[in-house]
Structure 1
Amino acid sequence: MARHAVLPPGPKGLPVVGNLFPFRNDPLAFSTAIQRRYGNLVAVKIMNSYVICGFSPEYVRYCLMEHPRSFRSIQSEGGNLRLLLGDGLLTSEGDFHRQQRRLVQPSFHRQRIDQYADTMVNYTQDTLCGWHAGEEVEMASQMQRLTLRIILKTMFNVDDMKQIDTLGAAFNTVINQAPHRFFWLRGPLANLVGRTTKDQDEQFTNGRTTLDTFVSTLIQQRRSNKQDQGDILSMLLAASDEGESLSDQQIRDQVMTLMAAGHETAQNSLCWTFYLLAQHPRVYEKLLAELRTVLQGRAPTMKDLAQLPYLEWVMNESWRIYPPAWRIGRRAIEDIELDGYRFPAGTIFLLHQWVTHHMPELWGDPENFRPERWDPAHQQKLPQGVYFPFGGGPRICIGMPFAQMEVRLLLATILQQYYPQIVPHQHVVPLPRVTLRPRDGMHMILQPVA
């Protein structure tokens, strides 16, 4: 193999800080711009370190699917996500991660997940009872309340609206007040990046304590009564792998991970789908026609989803444009040879769903919201790694089937009654945190369906 220069091409940035500020302040625009200028493998200097950005499907396949054991997740190395989630599936690594995944996997078997469908639909109908035609709602908070309620019921058999509001506020605090540090940077200046105020640190700590107290107390209560309540927590308490069961701390970490990722992914997916449908009335009309034909005005069931292919295409396209995970980081644990470049162990690789999902050379018209591109009859021939909204390989999101079912059932329920419209002159901007949130929420008007 021909040996290239030491590093791929890329922007050098400013003295000392390199590309720190655009990388931190506007990562979506920055990553898109460097791919357009430098190509699909780009070296980005940040302070005294380099990260390697891989944008094409071949790099996604290499890191996530073909050589996953040559890398470790950078989330396992530290940072605020690990402070909140502990050694959950998002933040653990190696043999421990594989064992934990085996123990958690039965909680997400299809038969188990299907049992949650009625809860999802019933709680959505309860939400609709509180909505009124023509009123304005802040959809992000509405969807957070609904999806968190669903998670708490299916995971803990808890349905306390006051508790839901408390936990929702705590999650928002943790996400909004977390310092924006790159914990994988090295050197004396690294700790200065994303430094927060004392007040922000206190709010972050208080929010984390609220969440931790809720989960830990519930585990203790459930250990005491020893009753299988048919929820995910009961499955985790009973799980064992070759005679080894989960400790309270391990259950706490997995439950916190599933609770955080479960409602956060669903609420954002719903918001962005409402946003896209509001901008594309013909897509909504086609989707509504399918819903009316199949459901004839009744609430959807799990069995109905197989008869709603256009609904599935809408969600696939929504996840392409606004992927739940917008970037994935891996650190090489051995020397890597890729496209003639030799990267030493310790190199950080970043894979960008946001960029790969919007590359014209892969999608033709990536900025168009076109659900028909997912029609199997004339679907584009997509190489593996071109579409990875939930990651890929052995670390693909374990809750993906839960999320796929939930968002489709909720949409099928809501869109038969309301067609949410964006409040005029509202500037909707994605905020890249762990997921893509609407930066200032999403204010929508509830237009009744005739």
Structure 2
Amino acid sequence: MATNISDLKPAPAPQSRPVIGMIPEMTKDMLGMFMDLTKQHGGIVQFKLLNKTYMLVTKPEYVKHILQSNHHSYIRGRSVETGRVLLGNGLPLSDGDFWLQQRRILQPAFHRQKLSTISETIIKAIQTQLDSWDKYKNHQPFDMEDEMTQLTLSIIIKTMFSAKITDEQVQALGNAFRIASAFMLWKSQQFVQLPLWFPLPKHIQYNKAVKILNDIVYPLIENGRKNPQDDLLGMLINAKDAETGLGMSDAQMRDEIVTIFFAGHETSAMALTWAFYLISKNKHVESKIVGEVDQVLNRRTPTLDDLSKLTYTTQVINEVLRLYPPAYLFAREAVTDQELDGYLIPAGTLIFITPYVTHHDSNYWHDPETFDPERFTPENISRRNKDIYYPFGAGPHICIGNHLAMMEMQLTLAMSYQRFQPDLATDSAIGLKPEATLRPKGGMMMKL
């Protein structure tokens, strides 16, 4: 292993155009470009965009080194600056001592036992959404992406604020958040970053949306401190750093709440959308889900205790997350010059890590494009390197809401297939639309 920076070799690199580098490929098909770079150059590769050098890392051992073994040397850094426009100092955007304190405060609220207190709220929200599907029983096509987005947004708002929030506030929060989230994506794609006070129409619309968010969230925090409830807000208010005894300020509480809105509904919505897509295309899988749900639930509403018995349904979810990880891309910045298996990673380099590419790599997965929930039987899991699968990230910064997301997806699929068996409304291929999460291009039209 090399010991001096001067002894290290540069990562492999493709030929690219002067100045613009690989911007045309990145703009046309980012994930396709990442797949091609990995096939041609291996699990670490550098490439240029506007004369700046970036790295792509997909080899599981390298990913583990960055996210886990040597995570202190790789921070989120400038990769999350656009996100701060909306999310402030939310946990997924933080580093160092501040991140550690926030993680210690928040972690107990997302423990499985704590989440049991909000499971009934989740179940009621799912029932309400499924009841609304009766209007589609005449085979009227509907967009499953929209349905799952509405469901998961309703779940996260109602589990966060319990009975303290009105239906009008739920609708206002949902609309404001959609506007703010779309703006955040748009802003990340702009080469020229104008200040938010500059009177662009998008700036004006975004600023109004953020005012609505803040005007609803801050009073709810104040009320929650005076009258704590058994909801996520109550858990966050009661959460304290075990070492210092400190809780969160209102401003930090606001940032964490908005971050949970973003991370807690869009990722689950896209995972569920892709789940319905894959299940509808694999009728033998659908039959096994229906059989398992009938056997375990016997036509009754599920409870939290039932989830551990829905083993095949859970395998299906894990395989969906392999093929279509909603959090398909994240980034780290090297704090100082770093060595990775003899390669030099210069200080300040932005490194892209993409579960999507690792999950589709035939070096680690047999027949990786095939949807096969049997990959996630306990026996098959035990036979492979666990580092090849990381839909929720890895290491200390692994998604804090992974248990909540899994519970939400298990309950939604079980309750859906008790009543319906959605089919694709068209035989046309569904393309990928990688935005803040991995979306289907053109939505996901289905029918009952």
TM-score, normalization by structure 1: 0.91
CA distance in 2, matches of 1:405, 1:77: 28
Match of 1:316 in 2: 318
CA distance in 2, matches of 1:77, 1:407: 27
Decide whether aligned partners of structure 1 residues 201 and 340 sit closer, same or farther in structure 2, where only a CA change above 3 A counts.
same
| More helix, by proportion | 2
The number of aligned residues is 437
Structure 2 letter corresponding to 1:386: I
CA distance in 2, matches of 1:359, 1:62: 19
SS of the residue aligned with 1:131?
helix
CA distance in 1, matches of 2:15, 2:203: 32
1:28-427 aligned at under 5 Å gives the runs: 28-74=31-77, 77-79=80-82, 81-132=83-134, 133=137, 134-158=139-163, 160-178=166-184, 180=186, 191=192, 198-223=200-225, 226-241=226-241, 242-379=244-381, 381-427=383-429
SS of the residue aligned with 2:219?
helix
* Deviation at residue 111 of structure 1 after TM alignment: 1.1
* Deviation at residue 249 of structure 1 after TM alignment: 0.5
CA distance in 1, matches of 2:247, 2:281: 49
* Deviation at residue 106 of structure 1 after TM alignment: 1.6
SS of the residue aligned with 2:386?
coil
Name the stretch that deviates more: 20-29 or 118-127: 20-29
SS of the residue aligned with 2:12?
coil
CA distance in 1, matches of 2:251, 2:447: 43
* Deviation at residue 5 of structure 1 after TM alignment: 7.0
* Deviation at residue 181 of structure 1 after TM alignment: 5.9
1:349-385 Cα distance to aligned partner (Å, 9 max, x none):
1111110010011101111000011112344733232
* Deviation at residue 137 of structure 1 after TM alignment: 2.0
Structure 1 residues without counterparts, runs of 5 or longer: 184-188
CA distance in 1, matches of 2:323, 2:9: 34
SS of the residue aligned with 2:388?
coil
CA distance in 2, matches of 1:259, 1:177: 15
Structure 2 residues without counterparts, runs of 5 or longer: none
CA distance in 2, matches of 1:161, 1:369: 39
CA distance in 2, matches of 1:192, 1:232: 35
SS of the residue aligned with 1:240?
coil
CA distance in 1, matches of 2:412, 2:222: 32
Decide whether aligned partners of structure 1 residues 4 and 327 sit closer, same or farther in structure 2, where only a CA change above 3 A counts.
farther
Decide whether aligned partners of structure 1 residues 205 and 441 sit closer, same or farther in structure 2, where only a CA change above 3 A counts.
farther
* Deviation at residue 426 of structure 1 after TM alignment: 4.8
SS of the residue aligned with 1:69?
helix
Match of 1:186 in 2: none
SS of the residue aligned with 1:116?
helix
TM-score, normalization by structure 2: 0.91
Percent identity among equivalent residues? 37
* Deviation at residue 182 of structure 1 after TM alignment: 5.9
* Deviation at residue 220 of structure 1 after TM alignment: 2.8
CA distance in 2, matches of 1:157, 1:190: 41
* Deviation at residue 304 of structure 1 after TM alignment: 0.8
User: Do the aligned residues in 1 keep the contact of 2:79 with 2:332 (CA within 8 Å)?
Assistant: no
User: Do the aligned residues in 1 keep the contact of 2:85 with 2:184 (CA within 8 Å)?
Assistant: no
* Deviation at residue 6 of structure 1 after TM alignment: 4.5
* Deviation at residue 330 of structure 1 after TM alignment: 0.4
SS of the residue aligned with 1:346?
coil
User: Do the aligned residues in 1 keep the contact of 2:43 with 2:57 (CA within 8 Å)?
Assistant: yes
Decide whether aligned partners of structure 1 residues 294 and 61 sit closer, same or farther in structure 2, where only a CA change above 3 A counts.
same
SS of the residue aligned with 2:56?
strand
1:1-28 Cα distance to aligned partner (Å, 9 max, x none):
3687742222242221111232244211
Structure 1 letter corresponding to 2:179: T
Structure 1 letter corresponding to 2:240: S
SS of the residue aligned with 1:191?
coil
* Deviation at residue 102 of structure 1 after TM alignment: 0.7
